[in-house]
Amino acid sequence: MSLDPVPAATPAVVAGRPAPAVSKLLVPLAIGAAVSVALGTYGRVHSPTGVGVLIAGFSGAQAAKAWMASGVALLAVVQLSSALVMYGRVPGISAPSWTGQLHRWSGRGAFLLSVPVALHCLYALGLQSYDTRVLLHSLFGCFFFGVFTAKMLLLPQRGLPGWALPLAGGLAFSAVVGLWLTSSLWFFTTVGLKF
């Protein structure tokens, strides 16, 4: 029989439950996953109308979608760049005082631009799988809004693991790149640079 004191619980698990920092991730991740699944389910069961969002100045819904998605991608690059500067990951550059504001406003702008694109995709086209590119685009879209939801729910949390927000932001950025490659780039290379 050992007289050594009982070892303290490790920070990762307390009484069989995840530590508070990890448990703070679970609810936002579950809600984000639910958003992804809900969008995918709606897109799959909804009968596509074929009616697109017409925006003045564009020749059609597809052109509007391609250019607005390009705006989202550009703002996502601003998001990534400002995050890298804020986290001190760009050697030789210290974050100016306005970097946080730039990061927040570019994120808001990207989200606002993405909403009409997503509405057009879900309402007019639905979740399609007739082609690998189209299926990937649909999945990237559902994934993006799920990750975005999780990231927004994680932002006000304190005591999160240091990797949580950068990972959520990186996944959101990756989804935007995937969306742009499977939609806007395809449109511009197939149809041309038309408005």
Q: What is the pLDDT of residue 48?
A: 74
Q: Is residue 25 part of a domain?
A: no
Lowest mean pLDDT among 14-18, 107-111, 123-127, 189-193: 14-18
* Mean pLDDT, rounded, for 158-183: 90
Q: Which of 54, 46, 37 is nearest to 142 (CA)?
A: 37
**Full-model pTM:** 0.78
Element (H, E) at 17: strand 17-18
Q: Is residue 7 in some structural domain?
A: no
Domain membership flag for residue 18: no
Domain hosting 161: range is: 52-190
**Average pLDDT for the chain:** 82
Please tell me the total count of domains within the chain. 1
Instruction: Of 17-26, 88-97, 106-115, 118-127, give the lowest mean pLDDT range.
Output: 17-26
Which DSSP string do the residues of 23-69 spell out, in sequence order? HHHHHHHHHHHHHHHHHHHHHHHS---------TTSSSHHHHHHHHH
Compute the distance between CA of residue 105 and CA of residue 115 in angstroms, rounded to an integer: 16
Burial class (CB in 10 A: 0-12, 13-18, 19+), 19: middle
Residue 19 belongs to some domain of the structure: no
**CA 124: distance to chain centroid?**
21
Distance, CA of 143 to CA of 148 (rounded, Å)? 8
The Cα 68–Cα 65 span in angstroms is 5
Residues paired with 17 in a beta bridge: 14
Radius of gyration of the chain, Cα coordinates, nearest whole angstrom: 21
**Does residue 154 sit within a domain?**
yes
**Is 1 within the bounds of a domain?**
no
* Contacts of residue 131, Cβ cutoff 8 Å, sequence gap at least 6: none
- Report how far apart the first and last C-alpha atoms of the chain are (Å, whole number): 80
Residue at 26 is within a domain? no
Instruction: Report d(CA 195, CA 193) in Å as an integer.
Output: 7
Residue 122 lies in a domain: yes
The pLDDT of 180-193, averaged and rounded, is 83
